[in-house]
Structure formats: structure tokens, C-alpha cells
Amino acid sequence: MKPVEVVAVRAAALRGVVAAVVLVLAGAGTGVAGAAGGPVGEADLAYHGRVALSDGRLGVWLVPQNDGPAALEAATLRIRLSSDLAPRQALAEGCARAGVREVVCETGPVPAHGQGRHIGLALGLAGRPAEVLVRVDTWWNGGTSERGAADGEQVVLALDTGDAYAF
């Protein structure tokens, strides 16, 4: 297991990160167990939004969407990049840096068959890449089993044009 490097932490993100690390260290697999030992609900979490790259800055705007029958109290989404992040980042509340190319954000509550809060990030990148591959997925799902986990990862290529690319 690769160690998690947390560079900038806000209290809300720390709860999700700590919970995710505890679950991973406890050996939890894809069926995350609840307090009673079994799945605590069934969700279908995906992310919809857009990214834009311009002059070494990557804008990411997204909203979590739960199409499953169980509400999520909170989840942690992960944004992985094909380029390194700049050393210093001013991240949105509820977000933390999780590596040289990763940021995690707490979603807050996501109702059944509904949307969570909008999350917006302005990320500085090391250098000025001509393109960045952005992967968005769920890092920790709040203790639910995931219906249709294959549709949970979004991948988009952003070119350094300033144009917004939707996912």
C-alpha cells in the first residue's frame, strides 16, 4: 500500500481521509462494512462536471450524483492528474492534497436519487503542461455498497486551450 501524503488539510476533509485510511488498513474491500459488520446501504455514486486548463491552472467543477436507493451521509472523492500539482495549493474547504498528483474532497451528504454540494477547485500545476488527463472517482463511499461501481470513474482529457471539457 502506497502511503498517503497529506500536505494541506481542512477539518472536514480530514474526517473522510481518516475514515478511508482506517477502512483500507482494516482490510475493507469493495463491500465496505458498517458498524454491524454488513453493508449499511446501497448507493450509485458518480460525478458530473467540467474541467478547464489554461496556463498551468486547472479548474475543476463537479457535483456528486447518487442514483442509488440509499442516501450517503458523506463520501470522499479523489481527483487524480497525469501532471504534478504545484507545491502550494489553496484548496476548497473539505479538500486535501493526497499526493503529488492527487486531491481528495469530502462530498458532504448526498441524498438518495439526488445531488450533493457543488465542489470547485482551482489547481496550480507544476510547469505548464499542454494537456492533463483528469480522473475522478470515489475513494471512500461512506460505508455503502456500490451498485454499478464501474460507472463511478470519470476520465477527461483537458487541453491547454481554456475551453471547458464536460464529464
Asked if CATH classification 2.60.40.10 holds for the domain at 11-20+46-166, the reply, yes or no, is yes
- Report pLDDT digits (tens) over 77-97: 999 999 999 999 999 999 999
Strand partners, 81: 134
- Within 10 A of 84 (CB to CB), how many other CB atoms are there? 13
Query: What is the reported pLDDT for 58?
Result: 98
* Structural contact between residues 51 and 134, judged by C-beta atoms closer than 8 angstroms: yes
Cα angle value 106/84/100 (rounded, 5°):
55
What is the pLDDT confidence band of residue 159, given thresholds at 50, 70 and 90? very high
Q: Is the pLDDT of residue 71 over 80?
A: yes
> Where does residue 73 fall: left (phi above 0), alpha (psi -120 to 50 degrees), or beta otherwise?
alpha
- What is the helix (H) or strand (E) element at residue 114, kind and residue range? strand 114-115
Confidence of residue 150 (pLDDT cuts 50, 70, 90): low
> Does residue 123 carry a pLDDT above 80?
yes
**Opening angle at CA 37, ends 6 and 94, nearest 5:** 25
The model's pTM is: 0.75
